[in-house]
Amino acid sequence: MRILLAASDRDLLRSFQKLLSEAFGECVTAFDGAQALSALAAAHERPDLAVLDHDLPRVQVPDILRQLNQKHLPSIVLLDGPVTAHQLTEEPLPCAFLSHPFSPDTLTALIQKVASRALADESFSAGGITVEIASFRLKNGPRLSLTEIDLLEQLARKASSGELPGAAASDFASENTALAAENAEPVTGEASTAVLPTGPEFSGIGAAVSALNEKFRRLGAPARIRYRPKKGFELVADDD
């Protein structure tokens, strides 16, 4: 897989180019937005996935994302803070967000997940909503991030399995690696800490739920995500 890594910090480019090359085979770098667009335009060496730092000079990230989305190329945007509901509802939307600071393993895992999703020609439905996974969007609707797709997938799976009516907040705190990768860096090292449901992780769940509800509203979909006490998040009819 050929990865495009665009960031304005040369140290970040150098270190992650080495690591991502080892992990995926090839990693091309771009120091600014103009270089990134040039790399995307290259017919024979077009990257398979782009990782963009949020503050690229010369050409802004949204302009690059538009090009990527038009070409159906998956993308990850690196942020300097937790992702907000506002960012999740803005277009153009990347496939995933990842907040600094993060470890190389986190980025690697996220790239693998985004790439696999982009290749999965699948869709699933729940509550009158259809998600086209490879396109990272709602059918005939707005784009979705990986967090939102995972959230909807869990809600759909649990609802159809009948084991639990919905997904609990704690499920997302521990099982959703993409969510954890996007919004909370797992602590490594000797002093491991238990993860409390606060801070960016909890905010990430709230942001994704709020963003999805807003997208359902824009689409005119008859559904919304609600939290039922002791039962967790559920995808329910809009008038419930």
Partner 1 sequence: MIKAQKKFRRTAILMVFVLLTALLSVINIINFTMVGEDADRLTQRIADHGGFLGRDDDPAFAEDKGFGSNPMKGHPGPMGPGSPDMNMSIRYFTFAFSEDGTTAETVAFRMSAVSEDDAKLWAASLLQRRTGWTNYTYRFRVYEGRDGRTFVTVIDQGRELLPSYRILLISVIGGLLFVGLSALILIFVGKRIFGTLAEADRKQKKFIAGANREFRQPLTILSAETEIIERTGGPTEETRALRRQITRLDTLVEKLGTIGIFDEEDASRSMLSLSEYLEAALDASAKAFADSGKTLRSSIAPEVTLQASPEAISRLAGELVANALCYSLTWASFRLWREGDRILLEASNDASLPDGSADQAFDRFATLANAAASADPADAGAADTCENNHAGLGLSYVKEVVTALNGRASARVSGGVFTLRIAL
Name which position in 121, 161, 163, 198 contacts partner 1 (CB under 8 A).
Answer: 198
Comparison of 40 and 142: residue with beta carbon closer to partner 1: 142
Element housing 148 (H / E): helix 146-161
Residue closer to partner 1, measured from CB, 67 or 84: 84
Instruction: Count other C-beta atoms under 10 Å from residue 115's C-beta.
Output: 17
Which of 76, 110, 173, 235 contacts partner 1 by CB under 8 A? 173
Structure token pair of residue 145:
């991030």
CB 106 within 8 A of CB 119: no
- Verify binding: residue 15, partner 1, rule CB under 8 A: yes
Q: Nearer Cβ to partner 1, position 101 or 162?
A: 101
From the number of C-beta atoms within 10 Å of its C-beta (0-12, 13-18, 19+), residue 34 rates as: middle
* Of 1, 2, 12, 31, the one binding partner 1 by CB under 8 A: 12
68 vs 72: CA distance, rounded Å: 6
Based on the shown chain and the rule CB under 8 A, indicate whether residue 237 belongs to the binding site for partner 1: no
Is position 16 an interface residue for partner 1 (rule: CB under 8 A)? Answer: yes
Q: Which is nearer to partner 1, 40 or 75 (CB)?
A: 75
Q: How far is CA 169 from the centre of its chain?
A: 18
* 229 part of the interface to partner 1, by CB under 8 A: yes
Chosen residue from 119, 120, 187, 237 binding partner 1 by CB under 8 A = 187
# binding residues, partner 1 (CB under 8 A): 57
Which residue, 122 or 186, is less far from partner 1 as judged by CB? 186
Sheet bearing 75-79, strands edge to edge: 26-30, 2-6, 49-53, 75-79, 96-99
Alpha-carbon distances, residue 118 vs 49, 65, 106, 147, 152 (angstroms)? 10, 15, 18, 14, 16
Neighbours of 140 (CB within 10 A): 9
Which is nearer to partner 1, 12 or 134 (by Cβ)? Answer: 12
User: What is the contact surface with partner 1 in residues (CB under 8 A)?
Assistant: 9, 11-12, 15-16, 18-19, 22, 53, 80-82, 84-86, 89, 99-105, 168-170, 173, 185, 187-191, 193-194, 196-200, 202-203, 205-207, 209-211, 213-214, 226-230, 232-233
